[in-house]
Amino acid sequence: MIRRPKRVASKQSGALGAGTCNVALLGFGTVGSSVAKILCERSNTDLRLTHVLNRNVARKKVDWLPSSVEWTENIDDVLSSNAEIVVEVMGGLQPTEDWIRRAFKSGKSVVTANKQLIAQRGTELVSLARRMNQQIQFGASVAGGVPVISGLHEGLAGDELFKIFGILNGTCNYILSQIETNGIPFATALREAQKLGFAEADPTEDIEGLDARAKLAILARVGLHCNVKPDSIMAHSISAIDSVDFEYANQLGCTIRQISRAELQGDNLFAAVQPALVELSSPLARVEGSQNLVVATGTYGGETVFGGHGAGGHPTAVAVVSDILAIARSKRSAMTTMTEAPVEKTPTVTAELTAKHYLRFLVKDRPGIIARLATILSHCHINIDAVVQKPGCPKSHLPFLITLEECKASLVEQALQKINSLDFQVQPCLHLPILE
């Protein structure tokens, strides 16, 4: 868990006081170039960009940066420089982890937007920064320009948080919004997202929930003080969602979103990333396009909502520069000694959720299908709530819906192991929780 020093208030929030803080930038892609632009265009700060490290400098170099900025492909040039803060926006685990560790040992603090690195190595890096009397800030690693990390760590520090949930991946939210709004297949919505730059050429990290899983692990550490490895969190793909699912969800007064949830229950942490039905009245249902939304629930303060643009060069760069300013202010006020961090719990992580459930089947129609399914569900001690069938569909590919009364997710999965082997199934049943 990162510990932020107390800040000294000033009449001009952008002003740092006497002296200039030198900043080196590792990476000059979409986010890195936006960070450089903000640093060079803001006139009310004493931040000075001194170095830019990137591969193929001759190709990446731009003429709008001051001539005093040194371009390099060698990390040693940065580590031996007079830069006080190193900004890492390259991504990946290596060589970025080694470079950040070397930056601390060289007497430099670090700002990073690297969610996978912080999710997997955050605890160790924070500990090393503390030993080296340096700081590491990672506000841009979750929800881009939405100040979730600082909000959880500072704004809600007086509460005892026990649940964090929300929409953490703008790519998935954009795709689901397109399926819902335009009634198009998943594959078409994905191609459109790639064409517009919302999805990568290889969208696996987003579609399979791995991106959101890393962000959820960070939020669990920052907000719930739980040391959680990303691969201990269950993640399910959104690729099986079809336009018919939005039609059925709407009949239930719901829509479908990729939801990330972490909730402390004693020594257990329920944590999962999965598509789920949410009520149309929920704030989650109103998040459209590539926006993000996070809801933190505390014992004393109730629910606090953070929302806004979670991706893109400029929103993410704003979060990066905000972290740079936080470190620079603490250096200028000589408040570099950090208070003791809260003790992190290491809970048992589970995906077991008791909820209502949505089962959408696609079958070759024939008599007795509902009876067969009801028998299997009954043997697993599961009660059916409702059966819904869209009229006019071909008998060879007939979609219909069964909703279940509240039960454990493991019971439903047990039943589906038997159901998915039945010969009338055209494709495996789609199983989504219905969140209230």
Instruction: Give the C-alpha separation, 111 to 136, whole Å.
Output: 6
Structure tokens at 97: 């982890």
d(CA 176, CA 155): 31
Residue 322 makes CB contacts below 8 A (sequence gap 6+) with 139, 147, 150
Q: How far apart are CA 159 and CA 262, in angstroms?
A: 17
Nearest C-alpha neighbor of 87 from the set 125, 114, 105, 120: 114
Query: Which of 326, 366, 365, 353 lies closest to 408 in space, CA to CA?
Result: 353
Instruction: Pick the catalytic residue from 115, 215, 390, 408.
Output: 215
Strand order in the sheet with 136-137: 70-72, 47-53, 21-26, 85-88, 109-112, 136-137
**Dihedral sign of CA atoms 147, 150, 152, 158 in order:** negative
- The CA distances from residue 422 to 94, 406, 410, in Å, are 46, 24, 20
Rounded CA-CA distance 316/133 in Å is 26
- Say how many residues make up the chain: 436
Q: How many CA atoms lie within 13 A of 77 on its CB side?
A: 14
Tokens of 250: 């709407």
CA 260 – CA 161 distance, rounded (Å)? 16
**Whole-number Å distance between alpha carbons of 295 and 300:** 15
CB atoms closer than 10 angstroms to residue 66 = 9
The answer to whether residues 222 and 149 touch, using CB atoms and an 8 Å cutoff, is yes
The answer to whether residues 218 and 118 touch, using CB atoms and an 8 Å cutoff, is yes
DSSP 271-315: EEEEEEEEETTSGGGG--TTEEEEEEEETTTEEEEEEEE--SHHH
215 is catalytic: yes
Q: Which residues are catalytic?
A: 215
